[in-house]
């Protein structure tokens, strides 16, 4: 026998006889590594709701000839994830801005923080011609009366930066508490967003399931532009406080109307038939168009449909686009 073939056996015997410490069970059984951080897979992140995994038909829910080539139907499966119960509010975003000013402004620079991360309040004037948007430009983000309204004037890059900051904020708190870190906060994929908007109702036209914009009492079910400019008939002329209308079956508010929402995906006309049918996504740094979903306070009902696709350029901030964050669900198989 080759003497060198005995070396691994000799080395292992030395470990056993020499008393070197390594993880083992009390009876010499394989029990896994010790001193692992505590993690409860059932703990729902603060302000989020679980979206159980499932299968649904992605794409248009009503006949739409003009969009049939960019919004084909496709059956896809989504693993379980968490999503913010509401759109990110002005006050939540202000917490982010205060932290950036305190901890990172020396690194990022005042100009970058104020031009790239601070909400662009001029959108209330620039987005519409012959429109008196000055009061909203002055007060919408700064006045406490609007604290619970969705933040707007934030482009796709700023929304992504917010997600990274929120991830680090929670990771630091968990580390100090001796807990395992959470997965990253991020923007939802387009498929996740559409699946969440339907709330488990496959082929639902709107998040509440039905094809109508009013309930049986005649009350509007979302903040949008009814009829020919009858903005205030839903109770709000512009945006409204988050969670002003009923949630869908997943417990998510304002998945139709109020503000459109950034998704993580790049927009591609043929993405639905091209992407995979399990957790599909379309990341493309070279495509400046990013998906926005849900419709807003200034949109007609068509844009509020769960299957309607839309986009905006990634560096464009608008008075009608906000965002919410998502997180993968781990430790439970993603099926509940």
Count up the domains in the chain and report the number: 1
- pLDDT tens track for 62-104: 766 566 666 788 899 999 999 999 999 999 999 999 999 999 9
> What pTM was computed for the model?
0.88
b (16+ CB within 10 A) / e for 44-59: ebeebbbbebbebebb
Residue 20 within any structural domain of the chain: no
28-37, 203-212, 263-272, 310-319: least confidently modelled range: 28-37
What torsion, rounded to 10 degrees, do the Cα atoms 30, 36, 40, 45 define?
-150
Residue 288 within any structural domain of the chain: yes
Calculate mean pLDDT across residues 189-198.
Answer: 97
How far from chain centre, in Å, is Cα 256?
A: 14
Find the domain containing 172 and state its range.
48-328
If one compares 61 and 137, the residue with the highest pLDDT of the two is 137
Residue 109 within any structural domain of the chain: yes
Q: Give the containing element (helix H, strand E) for 51.
A: strand 48-51
DSSP 73-106: -EEEEE--EEEESSPPBHHHHHHHHHHHHHHTHH
Residue 3 within any structural domain of the chain: no
Residue 2 within any structural domain of the chain: no
Question: Judging by DSSP bridges, how do beta strands 260-266 and 321-322 pair with one another?
Answer: parallel
> Do residues 254 and 88 lie in contact, with contact meaning Cβ atoms separated by under 8 Å?
no
Residue 26 within any structural domain of the chain: no
Calculate mean pLDDT across residues 290-319.
Answer: 96
> Would you state the pLDDT for residue 274?
84
**How many whole angstroms separate alpha carbon 265 and alpha carbon 192?**
10
**How many whole angstroms separate alpha carbon 289 and alpha carbon 100?**
27
- pLDDT tens track for 5-26: 555 554 545 544 555 444 455 6
* CATH code at position 192: 3.90.1580.10
Residue 333 within any structural domain of the chain: no
> Do residues 122 and 154 lie in contact, with contact meaning Cβ atoms separated by under 8 Å?
no
β-sheet bridge partners, residue 322: 261
Contacts of 246 (CB under 8 A, 6+ apart): 208, 221
Residue 32 within any structural domain of the chain: no
Helix (H, G, I), strand (E, B) or coil at 48: strand
């Amino acid at each position: 026998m080759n003497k060198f073939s005995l070396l691994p056996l000799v080395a292992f015997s030395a470990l056993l006889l020499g008393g070197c410490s390594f993880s083992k069970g009390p009876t010499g059984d394989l029990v896994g590594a010790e001193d692992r951080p505590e993690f409860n897979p059932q703990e729902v992140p603060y302000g989020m709701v679980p979206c159980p995994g499932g299968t649904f038909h992605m794409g248009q829910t009503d006949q739409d000839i003009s969009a049939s080539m960019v919004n084909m139907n496709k059956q896809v499966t989504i693993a379980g994830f968490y999503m913010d119960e509401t759109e990110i509010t002005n006050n939540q975003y202000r917490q982010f801005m205060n932290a950036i000013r305190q901890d990172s402004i020396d690194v990022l620079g005042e100009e970058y923080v104020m031009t790239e991360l601070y909400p662009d309040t001029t959108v209330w004037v620039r987005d519409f011609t012959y429109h008196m948007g000055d009061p909203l430009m002055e007060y919408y983000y700064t006045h406490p009366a609007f604290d619970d309204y969705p933040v707007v004037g934030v482009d796709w890059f700023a929304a992504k930066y917010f997600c990274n900051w929120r991830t680090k904020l929670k990771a630091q708190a968990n580390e100090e508490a001796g807990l395992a870190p959470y997965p990253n906060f991020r923007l939802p994929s387009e498929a996740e967003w559409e699946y969440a908007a339907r709330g488990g109702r496959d082929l639902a036209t709107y998040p509440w399931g039905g094809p109508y914009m009013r309930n049986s009492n005649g009350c509007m079910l979302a903040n949008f532009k009814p009829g020919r400019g009858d903005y205030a008939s839903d109770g709000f002329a512009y945006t409204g406080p988050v969670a002003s209308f009923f949630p869908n079956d997943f417990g998510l508010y304002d998945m139709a109307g109020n503000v459109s929402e950034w998704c993580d995906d790049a927009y591609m006309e043929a993405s639905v038939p091209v992407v995979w049918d399990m957790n599909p996504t379309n990341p493309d740094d070279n495509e400046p168009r990013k998906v926005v979903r849900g419709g807003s306070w200034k949109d007609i009902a068509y844009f509020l449909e769960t299957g309607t696709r839309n986009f905006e350029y990634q560096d464009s901030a608008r008075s009608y686009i906000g965002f919410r964050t998502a997180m993968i669900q781990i430790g439970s198989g993603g099926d509940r």
